[in-house]
Amino acid sequence: MTNVPLRPMNPRFHILGPGGIGSLFAFYFYQNHIPFTFFQRRAPPPAAPYYDKIDKDSYTTAKNTDHTRQNYPPTTLKYMNLTSLETTSVEPQVIDGLDWEPLYPIIDKELFRHDPVYNELSRSPIHQLLVTTKTYQTVEAISKIRHRLRPWTTIVLMQNGMGVREEICESMGWTTEEETPNFVQGIISHGAQKTGDTIVHTGTGHVWLAPVVESSQLSSISQTGSTPVPISRILKPSDTSLLPKLVMPKKEILTAPYPYRSPASFIAPYTNAPFSSFYTAPSSVQELQDLRTRSLYETLSTFQELSAALNLRLLMPDHLLALQLSKLVVNACVNPVATLLEATNGALLDSSDNAHPAVKDLLKESHSILRHSLEYRALNENLRQEFLTLEALTSTTEGILRATRQNRCSTLQDYLKGSRQCEIEYMNGYLIKMAERDRAPGESAESAAPLNRMVTEKIKEKFAAPRKASE
């Protein structure tokens, strides 16, 4: 018999945050035959006759312990493309039978004892995690699946603002290189809205991705200016000692599967042992390093398959940081002003399409904060000039306001939906922390970033205040 080489399977992505952006990626994963699984806050109940409903939140113990996930009702996602009505049909494209897992699994001794399928799913490692939740929901959500994350997991953050990764690492207790997963940071400018099981692609934009590297290392690898580079360059830095997670792997090691115990072990009776003990750790630092590199490479390679469909580009870390800082300032100047005025983005422009005076004042202060920051000093001069001068930030902000005249910013949308939480701490709040950290000698922390501090407090007060019935 002729030996036919097996084509490597695409890695499975777990999506944390099945809203607009998460569902948009899910559709394009589906289009490109990339396996994915949604996490849902409340999983659909098993079908009769396995459970008898008591109330909407609880069910009796299983009458038949041989049930599997096939007994759960299928879920559906409908995709509608409104980005180009002249050339694109608005007829929904349907994905049936979405794969999902509960974010808050019910820990039941009998269920664990007799149900190896549920047992394995609840403890099996997650290798690729795409996070699209609101920033303020991220730590709580990830804490529910922390036992399934490994040092070789790759976590992709696709969110507004900055500071989420640091908050995750601190909250999860990841303090060393040996225990901290890979992180990939993403920026997305596509418009997507989800209602029920329908995702509407409302506007075409871009997606930029890069592995996360500490800012202290950026100046050493920032040699390419602002020109995007291919994935091979990202995984083959000129000085591999600078990027321990990104060195090229040993091929013979990577042919072996990820290390985890035999599935048979999950059938054993449920014990009170911590979940983190249900996997076999790599036997050496080199093996761990190779596993991380493989996971990161698979993640970036998979996203590269979406480059044409989503205008996606893989960048060097310093290039992405410059874009992050630019987007941070734009969000920090537009979101609080538009929310306090309860105005569309276009209302922040005057008749000559210049920005609102409050936006301009915030731009000036935010630019000053950036210029004194560690992140700014880590970038090369080309990136600073292209993205982070006051003129560049003003032009970017006004361009976005013109392009999204009829839109409401994300913070105002949260407010109008009745939310008591918003992402202001990861926008203006992050600029305040930068200003406090990098302030001049003798300057008090309280005096740093006065305008950003003021609008942050006003937004918090607005969200905390009682709402009128019409709101």
Please tell me the predicted confidence (pLDDT) of residue 301.
85
Residues 206 and 303 occupy one common structural domain: yes
Residue 395 has pLDDT above 90, yes or no: yes
What are the two backbone dihedrals, phi and then psi, of residue 278, each rounded to the nearest 5 degrees? -95, 35
Please tell me the predicted confidence (pLDDT) of residue 44.
47
Encode pLDDT of 316-359 as tens digits: 888 888 999 999 999 999 999 999 999 999 999 988 888 899 99
Encode pLDDT of 27-86 as tens digits: 999 999 999 998 876 544 443 333 333 333 433 333 333 344 444 434 788 898 887 665
The sign one gets for the Cα dihedral 411, 414, 418, 419 is negative
Tell me the percentage of the chain whose pLDDT exceeds 90.
33
Cα separation, 120 vs 100, in Å, equals 14
Please tell me the predicted confidence (pLDDT) of residue 409.
92
Mean pLDDT, all residues of the chain: 75
Domains identified in the chain, total number: 2
Cα separation, 315 vs 31, in Å, equals 24
Q: Count CB neighbours of 232 within 10 A.
A: 8
Cα separation, 42 vs 375, in Å, equals 39
Residues 303 and 403 occupy one common structural domain: no
Encode pLDDT of 306-317 as tens digits: 999 999 988 888
Coil, strand, or helix at residue 37?
strand
**Contact residues for 241 (Cβ-Cβ < 8 A; gap 6+):** none
Residues 219 and 337 occupy one common structural domain: no
Domain boundary among 315, 343, 359: 315
Considering the domain boundaries, does residue 4 fall inside one? no
Average pLDDT of span 156-170: 90
Residue 241 has pLDDT above 70, yes or no: no
Residues 371 and 442 occupy one common structural domain: yes
Considering the domain boundaries, does residue 1 fall inside one? no
Residues 136 and 258 occupy one common structural domain: yes
How many residues belong to the chain? 471
Residues 288 and 359 occupy one common structural domain: no
Considering the domain boundaries, does residue 102 fall inside one? yes
Residues 322 and 273 occupy one common structural domain: no
Full DSSP string of 353-403: SPBPHHHHHHHHHHHHHHHTSHHHHHS-HHHHHHHSSHHHHHHHHHHHHHH
Please tell me the predicted confidence (pLDDT) of residue 379.
87
Residues 310 and 341 occupy one common structural domain: no
Encode pLDDT of 417-471 as tens digits: 999 999 999 999 999 999 988 887 877 777 889 999 999 999 999 999 987 754 4
The CATH number assigned to the domain holding 406 equals: 1.10.1040.10
Residues 400 and 263 occupy one common structural domain: no
Tell me the percentage of the chain whose pLDDT exceeds 70.
69
* Continuous segment of H or E residues that includes residue 337: helix 317-341
Cα separation, 412 vs 408, in Å, equals 6
Chain-centre distance for alpha carbon 400: 22
Average pLDDT of span 137-155: 87
Encode pLDDT of 99-122 as tens digits: 887 776 555 444 444 444 555 556
Confidence of residue 11 (pLDDT cuts 50, 70, 90): confident
Confidence of residue 289 (pLDDT cuts 50, 70, 90): confident
Across 83-104, b (16+ Cβ under 10 Å) vs e yields: eeeeeeeeeeeebeebebbbbe
Across 261-291, b (16+ Cβ under 10 Å) vs e yields: eeeeebeeebeeeeeeebbeebeeeebbbbb
Q: Are strands 207-211 and 93-96 parallel, antiparallel or unpaired?
A: unpaired
Query: Which region holds residue 261: left if phi is over 0, alpha if psi is between -120 and 50, else beta?
Result: beta
Domain boundary among 299, 315, 331: 315
Considering the domain boundaries, does residue 71 fall inside one? yes
Considering the domain boundaries, does residue 470 fall inside one? no
Between the alpha carbon of residue 91 and those of residues 75, 94, 98, 388, the distances in Å are 19, 10, 20, 42
Considering the domain boundaries, does residue 70 fall inside one? yes
Contacts 24+ apart (CB under 8 A), 87-94: 92/198, 93/27
Considering the domain boundaries, does residue 8 fall inside one? no
Encode pLDDT of 171-201 as tens digits: 888 877 778 899 999 999 888 888 888 898 8
Considering the domain boundaries, does residue 5 fall inside one? no
Between the alpha carbon of residue 457 and those of residues 30, 61, 117, 249, the distances in Å are 42, 48, 48, 48
Confidence of residue 4 (pLDDT cuts 50, 70, 90): very low
The structure tokens 């698979």 sit at 298
Domain boundary among 315, 349, 379: 315
Residues 261 and 277 occupy one common structural domain: yes
Residues 274 and 383 occupy one common structural domain: no
Name the nearest CA neighbour of 291 among 322, 255, 262: 255
Cα separation, 80 vs 165, in Å, equals 32
Q: Determine the structural domain holding residue 335 and report its residue range.
A: 318-464
Please tell me the predicted confidence (pLDDT) of residue 173.
83
Average pLDDT of span 85-91: 62
Residue 261 has pLDDT above 80, yes or no: no
Please tell me the predicted confidence (pLDDT) of residue 212.
84
Residues 71 and 84 occupy one common structural domain: yes
Cα separation, 471 vs 463, in Å, equals 12
Residue 155 has pLDDT above 70, yes or no: yes
Q: Are the C-beta atoms of residues 201 and 24 closer than 8 Å to each other?
A: yes
Give 62's Cβ-side CA count (13 Å radius): 19
Q: Is the peptide bond before 211 cis (omega within 30 degrees of 0)?
A: no
